[in-house]
């Protein structure tokens, strides 16, 4: 298990420059836990303070308003991490995380991480940079929800999730239409209509768990 956690930690950007010996030490502090499909890992407002490294599966990070309407902030696949704000704060969780499929996480407690960080002071700056990037991404997400229409938010989300492969933008582990609707703050029916039109126009091709953007997506619809 320690080797699996080590490889997960090695993929985290703010830990890129840490020695293998130090990463193995951090990995030894982790506890492994598995979660079934559609399980809550933690809820918004929970008083928990651990870092989670997603080793397998898929999770979504989301928040909801007083009426219970959910907005997905992020869908994460291996190897990624979440809950990092809790490493530097005693505040309750600012969002909820639930599994989309059976998932396995390595969990590192705040106290253990802080004690390890004392011996690796250079990591602190990288972590701050990482948190700043998270704040910027969430700020952009709020701007999209406030200033863009559903179509604009949908294509922006698709572009953000895609990676370039041989001059074509590809989304592996594509979200379902309901997941995409939650991410853009719209109904599944509206997103379904947009995706159908993009498919009909030859802009996107969906095959199994992959979505390919074959042509430049129209700026408006």
Task: State how far the Cα of 180 lies from the Cα of 204, in Å rounded to an integer.
Answer: 15
Torsion of CA 98, 99, 105, 108, to 10 degrees: 0
DSSP line for 32-65 = EEEE-TT-EEE-TT----EEEEEEEEEEEEEEE-
- Name which of 3-7, 41-45, 48-52, 69-73 the model is least confident about: 69-73
Per cent of the chain over pLDDT 90 is: 44
Model confidence at 66: pLDDT above 80 = no
CA–CA distance, 26 with 53 (Å, rounded to integer)? 12
Whether the per-residue pLDDT at 88 is higher than 90: the answer is: no
Over residues 125-157, the pLDDT tens digits come to 888 788 777 777 777 766 666 657 889 889 988
Q: In this predicted model, what pLDDT tens digit does every residue of 192-216 receive, in sequence order?
A: 999 999 999 999 999 999 999 999 9
| Residue 108 Cα distances to 96, 118, 121, 191, angstroms | 18, 15, 18, 37
pLDDT at 1: 66
Angle between helices 150-161 and 122-147 (to 10 degrees): 150
For residues 59 and 99, the answer to whether their CB atoms sit within 8 Å is yes
């Amino acid at each position: 298990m320690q080797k699996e956690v080590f490889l997960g930690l090695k993929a985290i950007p703010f830990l890129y420059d840490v020695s293998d010996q130090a990463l193995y030490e951090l990995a030894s502090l982790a506890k492994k836990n598995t979660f079934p499909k559609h399980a809550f890992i933690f809820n918004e407002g929970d008083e928990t303070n651990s870092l989670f490294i997603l080793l397998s599966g898929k999770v979504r990070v989301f928040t909801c308003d007083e009426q219970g309407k959910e907005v997905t902030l992020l869908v994460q696949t291996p190897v990624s991490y979440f809950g990092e704000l809790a490493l530097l704060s005693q505040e309750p969780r600012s969002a909820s995380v639930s599994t989309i499929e059976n998932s396995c996480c390595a969990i590192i407690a705040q106290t253990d991480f802080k004690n390890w960080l004392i011996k690796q002071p250079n990591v602190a700056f990288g972590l701050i940079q990482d948190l700043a990037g998270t704040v910027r991404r969430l700020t952009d997400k709020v701007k999209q929800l406030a200033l863009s229409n559903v179509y604009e938010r949908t294509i922006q989300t698709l572009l953000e999730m895609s990676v370039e492969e041989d001059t074509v933008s590809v989304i592996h582990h594509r979200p379902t239409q309901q997941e995409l609707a939650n991410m853009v703050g719209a109904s599944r029916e509206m997103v379904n209509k947009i995706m159908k039109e993009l498919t009909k126009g030859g802009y996107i091709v969906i095959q199994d768990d992959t979505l390919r953007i074959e042509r430049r997506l129209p700026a408006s619809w």
